[in-house]
Structure 1
Amino acid sequence: MTTQTNTDLESIVDSAREAFAKAHAPADLENAKALFIGKSGRITELMKGMAALSVDEKKSRGAAINAAKQAIEAALNDRRQALADAELEVQLKAEALDVSLPGRRREPGGLHPVTVTLERIEQIFASMGFDVADGPEIESDWHSFTSLNNPPNHPARSMQDTFYVDIKGDDGIAYNLRPHTSPMQVRYAHAHIKKYAGSAFMPEIRVIAPGRTYRVDSDATHSPMFQQCEGLWLGENVSFKDLKVVFTDFCRTFFESDDLALRFRPSFFPFTEPSAEIDIQFQSGPLAGKWLEVAGSGQVHPQVVRNMGLDPEKFIGFAFGMGADRLTMLRYGVNDLRLFFEGDIRFLRQFR
């Protein structure tokens, strides 16, 4: 009886090994496993039949069945490992690296097109005697709005919705990501006055402030983060005529074309009075005949001059603000602002 039982178990183990060897995929192997040690497998059924045996028979037969089950599980694990090794071998061959191939040549890098524009703006205005100022991107509410004649709850603030940050100064003033670089007008003026305090003569304030700014805006021609450049010229005899001459000269130099018309269209800004939008018109090329807005400008408001620490009866002048991204789009014929921020090498390579 025992010999017959052992022979049957050896036959089952051999059948399991043969079935496992024929399985060429993990799913096939699991199906073969179910035939022998699954819930209704042959070994499982033999174990269920032990209930009717005597205690002595249970011991001997149980040990034999257990040994058979362990042999089947060992064969199953060996086949699982073999299938895994075969799959890894196929993968390694598919992903093999041919070290005999020549190395990939590193392409030279280049400046981002907007960076090129900012450097170009700085060079042009530097040639006109303007300083370049830089300041914080996290700015106080007073510098961003109130100092620029835009007090709390003023409706004009809605034109420049911005991002506020969860910090406040010791005086309780809120801070935000600056919506423009105009705060640098007041900061630079304060530093300028301090620098020449006690001097018999204080030079005119002539400065541009390029940098990153933030507003709640996003579409093909606007971004929540964008590059802007503010300009300021204050002195005892600086007029709107000077603004027209300076900005016309800048545009014609920037676009390398004298065949360019400008118009100053009346507008409203809290920090200038009178105020004007600046439009340009190309006389040739794909944009010929269209008026395109490129900047806002105006005579600096007397209250802003006071906030700078200067006497508006003595110091007058103009300010302007333009988007470097917009100028880059016009210069290179780009029709979607978002391309500048996506990091697509195929696009950026054109400006290298």
Structure 2
Amino acid sequence: MLEQIEKIAEEIAQSTAANAEELEAFRMRFISRKSVIGDIFGQMKNVAPEERKEFGQKVNMLKNAAQDKFKELVEALESASDNSAAEGLDLTLPNIPHELGSVHPITKVRAEINQIFERIGFNISEGPEIEDDWHNFTALNFPPNHPAREMQDTFFLEKDPDIALRTHTSSVQVRVMENQEPPIRTLSPGRVYRNETISARAHCIFHQVEGLYIDKNVSFKDLKDTLYYFAKELFGPDTKIRLRPSYFPFTEPSAELDVSCNICGGKGCNICKYTGWVEIGGCGMVDPNVLEASGIDPDKYTGFAFGMGIERITMLKYRINDLRLFTENDVRFLRQFSSI
């Protein structure tokens, strides 16, 4: 049996591996659980007791020799592979420059909006994108027959018709009102979903930022002053705003917010449809029913809310004419914002 060990040791020492298949064959023969060395270990019971110590030492030395040889073959094979790859290199070719990424324009504008409102005391609040009917519709004073509750306007989950992808971040405001006592001054940016046909001016996935301020004696003038400050900070000191009467279920009175077109300076162009004004969102005084549904006394507190599409603001700020560019991940488009 000692002669068998010596023969195996000689075979190990003379082994070579020119490729991965030969390396694996070596491993299976000498190192694996069913290897020839394993078989020799199994014969330990047949060795005379006085010879077992010497026999065990020789088998262990054989096992270590096999492992060392395997490591040597692996290193040799890797070295040969590296040399082969290096032979195919043309060191005269110009190097590929390391290109840094850039902040997405939507991310940049969202951060800029957050910073503007944080300077006047607003905090940032976030909530789930999969929302229940109460927070997305009912608590916001949407009547049971409102069109927004239909499948053609909202993405509902098939297994539960009361659960949907949120259609606005106003649902976050409801959660804040349910869990926080006034005064409340919060901003809710985030991604929303609506069942709309994708075009240059519309998308089924987009971003909103909505603000809420609730305290004693909050007036419509407070709302107007806040939005005027925001517009001047974002678009420049010469920016003007106007509020047009409108309707939203969760505010009363309600208004559409327009800003003077910063592309034509209010003179009229194709972006503002030659009116000099561009609509960027809606606003109004929080409806007393919404305050009551969220556990806030409407006789003691009043408040205002507003909401704006971040894509619309970004398009206006950077003069982008196609909403689809924001989600197509076209590197040519994104590179334009690397220095902004």
d(CA) in 2 for partners of 1:252, 1:268: 25
One-letter amino acid of the counterpart of residue 332, structure 1: Y
1:140 equivalenced with 2:119 (yes/no):
no
By how many angstroms is 1:288 displaced? 3.9
By how many angstroms is 1:98 displaced? 3.9
Contact 1:275 1:299 in 2 (8 A): yes
Contact 1:161 1:215 in 2 (8 A): yes
> In the alignment, what sits opposite 1:242?
222
Q: Deviations over 1:198-225 (max 9, x none)?
A: xxxxx51000100000011221111100
Contact 1:160 1:179 in 2 (8 A): no
d(CA) in 1 for partners of 2:296, 2:146: 24
Q: Deviations over 1:167-225 (max 9, x none)?
A: 43xxxx711010100001110111213xxxxxxxxx51000100000011221111100
d(CA) in 2 for partners of 1:278, 1:158: 26
> In the alignment, what sits opposite 2:314?
328
> In the alignment, what sits opposite 2:261?
282
TM score, norm. by length of structure 1: 0.66
One-letter amino acid of the counterpart of residue 308, structure 1: S
4+ runs deviating over 6 angstroms: none
Overall identity of the aligned pairs, in %: 51
1:111 equivalenced with 2:103 (yes/no):
yes
> In the alignment, what sits opposite 1:126?
118
Q: Deviations over 1:105-159 (max 9, x none)?
A: 1211111000000000100000010010011000001111111000322346469
Larger Rg: 1
1:228 equivalenced with 2:208 (yes/no):
yes
The change in CA–CA distance for 1:135 and 1:327 in structure 2 (over 3 A counts) is same
SS of residue matched to 1:241 = helix
1:189 equivalenced with 2:177 (yes/no):
yes
The change in CA–CA distance for 1:158 and 1:269 in structure 2 (over 3 A counts) is farther
> In the alignment, what sits opposite 1:10?
none
Q: CA RMSD in A?
A: 2.0
Q: Deviations over 1:76-125 (max 9, x none)?
A: xxxxxxxxxxxxxxxxxxxx874542331121111100000000010000
Q: Deviations over 1:235-272 (max 9, x none)?
A: 111111001000010011011x2212211100110000
One-letter amino acid of the counterpart of residue 225, structure 1: I
SS of residue matched to 1:259 = coil
Alignment match of 2:167 (pick from 153, 175, 179): 179
Alignment match of 2:295 (pick from 305, 309, 315): 309
Q: Tell me, which stretches of 5 or more residues in structure 2 are unaligned?
A: 1-87, 269-275
By how many angstroms is 1:232 displaced? 0.3
Number of residue pairs matched?
A: 243
SS of residue matched to 2:252 = strand
Q: How does 1:1-352 map to 2 (within 5 A)?
A: 98=90, 100-155=92-147, 157=149, 161-168=153-160, 174-193=162-181, 203-217=182-196, 218-255=198-235, 257-282=236-261, 285=264, 288-289=267-268, 290-352=276-338
Contact 1:228 1:323 in 2 (8 A): yes
The change in CA–CA distance for 1:208 and 1:327 in structure 2 (over 3 A counts) is same
The change in CA–CA distance for 1:343 and 1:319 in structure 2 (over 3 A counts) is same
TM score, norm. by length of structure 2: 0.68
d(CA) in 2 for partners of 1:109, 1:232: 34
SS of residue matched to 1:260 = coil
> In the alignment, what sits opposite 1:17?
none
d(CA) in 2 for partners of 1:246, 1:159: 35
Contact 2:231 2:240 in 1 (8 A): no
The change in CA–CA distance for 1:339 and 1:288 in structure 2 (over 3 A counts) is farther
The change in CA–CA distance for 1:122 and 1:283 in structure 2 (over 3 A counts) is closer
One-letter amino acid of the counterpart of residue 141, structure 2: N
By how many angstroms is 1:284 displaced? 6.3
Contact 2:203 2:324 in 1 (8 A): yes
Q: Tell me, which stretches of 5 or more residues in structure 1 are unaligned?
A: 1-95, 194-202
Contact 1:131 1:206 in 2 (8 A): yes
